[in-house]
Amino acid sequence: MINQIETFLIRQFEDDSHRLKHIYGVRSVAVELAQIHHANVYEVEVASLLHDVMKNASYEAQLDMIKDPVVIDYFKDVPVAYHAAAGYYYAKDNLGITNPTILEAIFYHMWGKIDMSLETMIVCVSDFCEPNRIYPKAKEIYKLAKVDIELAFIEAIGSTIDYLRKHGVEPFKDQLKIYEYYTKKKGLV
């Protein structure tokens, strides 16, 4: 399965080596974190390889893949999230993936969800801190993730929220809710 996905990705991203490098970067960090935190390595590996599978598709193609009007409406204020939902449907409908943990991790790789699986959290954090990410926080979050994955997740989402606000963009409502949920759960507020 992994070999087939890799072959498919190489073809899919033959004109975008940057994206392919990012995907492989997420996979390598995610597998390392899964081993450290005793998550399911196979699920994490498949989800991280497929998390951005629809990233380069047009919005029209992403919406076509999603089809479900409820999902389309839900993300209408954050169209950047359509690639994650479209990736979920691509994995499910085109690649025949039925494993709910893999599908959850693809769908929610942008900012996770309340009560997400450990595998989803690992994919989210790895997407933020894989070695090709050049922002300064990435290295710090990678180090933290090896020790405390939940704290690394909180830091990653918190820094994204700060970045958006600094640039005059109001974060997505669920991004804030999820951040609050995990900061409270961790006893930080």
Candidate list 45, 127, 155, 174; residue touching Fe ion; CB under 5 A: 127
Residue range at the interface with Fe ion (CB under 5 A); choices 91-99, 125-133, 151-159, 162-170: 125-133
Residue 25: CB minimum distance to Fe ion, A: 9
d(CA 161, CA 4): 36
**How far apart are alpha carbons 27 and 179 in whole angstroms?**
24
Residue 130 interacting with Fe ion (CB under 5 A): no
Question: Which one, of 34, 162, 163, 154, lies nearest residue 105 by Cα?
Answer: 34
- Distance (Å) of CA 138 to CA 70, 86, 131, 134, 153: 33, 26, 8, 7, 11
Binding segment toward Fe ion, per CB under 5 A, in 114-122, 126-134, 146-154, 173-181: 126-134
Supply 79's token pair.
Answer: 């169209």
What whole-number distance in Å separates Cα of residue 15 and Cα of residue 18? Answer: 9
Closest CB to Fe ion among residues 45, 184: 45
Instruction: Tell me the DSSP string of 76-144.
Output: TT-GGGHHHHHHHHIIIIIS----HHHHHHHHTTTT--TT--HHHHHHHHHHHHSTT--STHHHHHHHH
CB of 151 to Fe ion, least distance (A): 21
Neighbours of 114 (CB within 10 A): 12
**Nearest residue (CB) to Fe ion, 26 versus 118:** 26
Cβ proximity to Fe ion: between 43 and 127 the closer is 127
How many whole angstroms separate alpha carbon 40 and alpha carbon 34? Answer: 6
Question: Whose Cβ is closer to Fe ion: residue 49's or residue 186's?
Answer: 49
Q: Which CB atom, from 52 or from 104, has the smaller least distance to Fe ion?
A: 52
Question: Please, what is the minimum distance in Å from the beta carbon of residue 75 to Fe ion?
Answer: 13
Is 52 a residue that touches Fe ion (CB under 5 A)? yes
Least Cβ distance, residue 189 to Fe ion (angstroms): 28
* CB of residue 51 to Fe ion, shortest distance in Å: 5
- Name the segment binding Fe ion (CB under 5 A); options: 48-56, 64-72, 162-170, 173-181: 48-56
Contacts with Fe ion, residue ranges (CB under 5 A): 52, 127
